[in-house]
Every structure is written in C-alpha cells, then in structure tokens.
Amino acid sequence: MFTTGSKLLIGSAAAAWVFAAIYGIAQEGTLGTIGLISAAVGLSLLAGINVFVRDSNVSAMDHDSFDASAAAQATARPSLWPLLVALGATTLTLGLVTYRAIFVLGLIAIAAGAIEWLIQGWSERASADRGYNAAARDMLVDPLELPVAGAIGAGVVVYAFSRVMLGLPSKTATVVAFAVLAAIVLAVAALIGLQRNISKSTLTGAFSIAAIALIAGGAFAGLNGERKTHVHETTGYLAEENECGTEETEADENASQTVASKSNVAAELTFDGDRLDVDVPGFDGDFAALTLPRSNPNNVLFRNESDHHARLVIELYPDTDDDGVPLSPERVCTALVEEGGVQLLTVEFDRPSFAIDEEYAFTVAGSEAAAEVVVP
C-alpha cells in the first residue's frame, strides 16, 4: 500500500509525463518538451525514493526505531560556522570582480568555516553527553584555534589601524583623529571601571562595537585608497626626468654647498662663468681632457666661482637591455651650486669612450663650458 506522499509524487510524475507527450505532439516545441521531460524525470526519481523509504514512516510495533529516529536525538547546538561559510562565499564572489585580497579573504573564510563546522558536527555525535562533546571539541581544536585566532585578530587590528592612518588626508589629521580616539577610549574605560558590577554581555557588546567600528573604518579606508604622498625630488630624480637645467627645483632647496676636506676626489672642476677648468690632485698644469677609469666610482668636486648659480651635468650613454631601457642612469648632475659653493658628484662609467658615438664631457647647464672626459 502506497503512503500519502508516494501517491502525490507518483501522480505528479505521471501528469508530467502526460503533459510532456501532449505538448511535444501538439506544439512540436523542443525547449518546452525538454523542460517537461526534465520535470517528469525529477518527479519520478523522488517518487521512487519515497516509495523505497515508505515516506519515512515507522511502524508502531517497531520500538527500537523510536529511540533511533532523528526526532529522538538531541538538537544540534547553535553555530555561526554556516554563516561564516556563506559570508566567505559572498566575499569570494565579490573578490572576483574587485580586488585579489578580497578573493583571498573569501577563500580563507570558506576554509575556516568548513573546518570548524566539520569538527563541531563530529563532536556533537561523539556521545550522548553534551558536556563531554564540548570538551572533546575543545581538546582537539583549542591548541590550534586560539593561537591562530589571536594572530588573525592582532593582524586585523594592526592592518585596520594602518589603513585608517594612511587614508587620512594628512599627518596632522592622523594625529588629531587618533588623539580624539584615545580620549574616547579612555572615557569609555573610565565609565566601565566606575561600575561595580558589570555584566559579561555588556563588556562583550562594547568590545564588539569597537571591533566592528575598527574593521569597518579600515575596510573603508583601504578601499578608498591611501592619501597621495608628495614625491621629494632628488638630483637623481632630476637626472632621470632630464631636468638638470638652470632652474631651481625642490631638490636644490637647502642643498649642501660644502664638501669635507677628507673626500677622496679624482679631479676638481672650477667654473668661472665662461669656462670649466680641470685640476687633478698631484699633477700641475692644465688638462685638455680628464681621464677617468671605467667601472669604478669617480668623485669629482665642482666649484662655482661665477656670479650666478650653476649645475654640473654629464651624460653617461649607458648600455640598454633588449627593450631599450638603460641599465644604469643616463646622466648625473649636482644640485644648483651657489656662488662660491662646492659640491661632490660621483660618476661611474660602464662603457669606454670608443664604444659610444658621442664623447663624455662634463658640462655646466645653461652655458657652453665643458670638459672632455676620456674613459679607457
């Protein structure tokens, strides 16, 4: 004799088969026929399963089945792990169209939630004693769960703080914001401390609100991006941007105009406004060209004895890689040297003079003064 559920499913399956046949013959529609046949197959499968298990009915004479039935078992403990898995799946999907970091967080949340859910399901069936089951679960996962949770919590706090600090518009705003935050934390802690008896739920709620605010602020600041940091120019930046000219730049502000006497120099170049004179320590007389070794750092002093600021520049003509990108700086230059000032310039050549189309030469930006350099 068929049960009520089996009768309903068998009737539905039969009706689906009939409707599929009628629709296919009358309308000759392939898509509709396939849909009705699929529904008929699914209903037939469910009807067969239901007939096999007899609608899960238990005979009144089978007393052992009452104790073994699902209704006689203790209910499962409330768990947040399914929620974490669902949140991880949502985060994973969001990360596919946004940021890789969000995608990775989704994977971590799914893995952690699934493992915890699996362990909890195992522990709840370890025995009929809930206390023993809880102790078995804690014994298994506490040595791993607590250190990992602490490390993750500390990492989240540090990272959220860093995103908030970098997301504020300036250093002054960062100082003011965290000073106000520190005052709020102190005030709330003082109020909590004044209470003689404060419940555990109240403390948990206060810390939860603080954690949510911190994580939300860090997430908002991280997605919004870091504040734009002003790039501080250097002489290397000027050379890279080919801005070694006569105009004063940020890299020239407060630039040193003296050099220690102990500096080991290969030559001293003096600019008088019209020409660039070369003086090599240990040798007397004028030099038509300055000889400097290859593949070694060469320190050169530049003295400005003219009546205006001057900058020493040299083109290095470096080798390039397969894409044409220079393997070393294309040029080097000093900051603007004031009248009577002196600066040190370090130059390293990676190619000899005969390997380049042009010639090496020290020049003064904005003038025709130059000193030829020979690199053996």
Q: What is the DSSP string of 279-328?
A: E-TT--S--SEEE--SSS-EEEEEEE-SSS-B-EEEE----B-TTS-BSS
Q: How far apart are the first and last CA of the chain?
A: 107
Q: How far apart are CA 194 and CA 191, in angstroms?
A: 5
> Residue 242 and residue 102: Cα distance in Å, rounded?
40
Question: How far is residue 92 from each of residues 41, 114, 127, measured CA to CA in Å?
Answer: 34, 14, 36
For β-strands 312-315 and 342-347, DSSP reports them as unpaired
Residue range 237-251, pLDDT digits in tens: 777 777 787 887 777
* pLDDT grade for 89, boundaries at 50, 70 and 90: very high
This prediction has a pTM of 0.45
Residue 376's contacts (CB-CB under 8 Å, 6 or more residues apart) are 291, 293, 294, 352, 353
What is the pLDDT, as a whole number, of residue 355? Answer: 86
Residue length, the chain?
376
pLDDT higher than 80, residue 223? no
- Contacts (Cβ under 8 Å, ≥6 apart) of 70: none
The HSE-up count of residue 45 (CA atoms within 13 Å, CB side) is 6
Q: Which of 344, 336, 335, 339 is nearest to 259 (CA)?
A: 344
148-203 pLDDT, tens digit per residue, is 888 888 888 888 878 888 777 777 887 888 888 889 888 888 887 787 777 778 77
**What is the amino acid identity at position 163?**
R
Is CATH 2.40.50.100 the right assignment for the domain spanning 235-374?
Answer: no
Distance (Å, whole) CA 334 – CA 310: 9
Rounded-to-10 torsion of CA 303, 306, 311, 316: -70
pLDDT recorded at residue 335: 87
Map out the domains of the chain as residue ranges.
4-72, 81-224, 235-374
231 has pLDDT over 80: no
Measured CA to CA, the distance from residue 153 to residue 151 in angstroms comes to 5
Q: Are strands 331-333 and 312-315 parallel, antiparallel or unpaired?
A: antiparallel
Tokens 């042009």, located at residue: 358
- The average confidence (pLDDT) of the chain is 82
What pairs with residue 332 in β-bridges? 314
Q: How far apart are CA 349 and CA 31, in angstroms?
A: 76
φ, ψ dihedrals at 212, nearest 5°: -65, -40
pLDDT over 90 percentage in the chain: 7
Cα–Cα distance, 275 to 367 (Å, whole number): 9
Q: Return d(Cα 287, Cα 273) in angstroms, integer.
A: 18
Of the listed ranges 82-86, 117-121, 230-234, 302-306, the one predicted with least confidence: 230-234
The mean pLDDT value for 340-351 works out to 88
CB 371 within 8 A of CB 278: yes
More confident: 77 or 43 = 43
Residue 76 pLDDT > 70, yes or no? no
Residue 86 confidence (pLDDT): 92
| Residue 252 pLDDT | 75
What the block records as the tokens of 59 is: 């005979």
In this structure, the strands spanning 289-291 and 370-374 are parallel
